[in-house]
Amino acid sequence: MANVRLSINPKLLEKLHSETNIQNTQLVAEALTLLEWAVSEAKEGRYLVTTDEKGENVKKVSLPSLDAAFETKDLKERLKSKFNDFVDSVSEKFQGGKEEGKGAQSWKGRVTSEDDESMP
């Protein structure tokens, strides 16, 4: 476990303690767990929203960390698409004008969701 020192407004801590009845250590652990989950959802391209009991009054949860994670997902998708377009273009040029069986080579590489692990 890592030890972390935080400077947090004592009024905020007291308010959260009185509303949740949990101590500071648990409060921070739960906050980080919630943030970790929210970031993983954003990385999957999902938005976090809140609604009232009727499913109305929908509001998007927006935090800089979630926006950054969502943009990372979007960037990966755009890079994947551009790479696949490039591969298609190269493949067409590589195969263009040659007859099959006369030294023509074929190569077709694509980025799929299984390849996402290797992408930054």
In a domain, 116, yes or no: no
pLDDT at 117: 52
For tokens 């970031």, what's the residue?
39
Query: Does 102 map to a domain?
Result: no
Query: Based on the structure, what is the number of domains in the chain?
Result: 1
pLDDT at 26: 92
In a domain, 89, yes or no: yes
φ and ψ at residue 79, rounded to 5 degrees: -65, -40
63 in a structural domain: yes
Instruction: Decide if 1 is inside a domain.
Output: no
Q: What is the pTM of this model?
A: 0.57
What residue numbers bound the domain in which 56 lies? Answer: 10-93
pLDDT in tens, the chain (120 residues): 788 888 989 999 999 999 999 998 899 899 999 999 999 988 888 888 888 888 888 888 888 988 888 777 776 777 777 777 777 776 666 665 444 444 444 444 555 555 455 544
Residue 79 lies in a domain: yes
Say if CB 44 and CB 74 are below 8 A apart. no
In this predicted structure, what is the pLDDT of residue 96? 57
Asked if the structure places residue 106 within a domain, the reply is: no
State residue 107's pLDDT score.
Answer: 45
Q: Among 88, 49, 41, which residue's Cα sits nearest to residue 66?
A: 41
**Domain contains 66:** yes
The two structure tokens encoding residue 58: 């929908």
Q: What is the pLDDT of residue 77?
A: 73
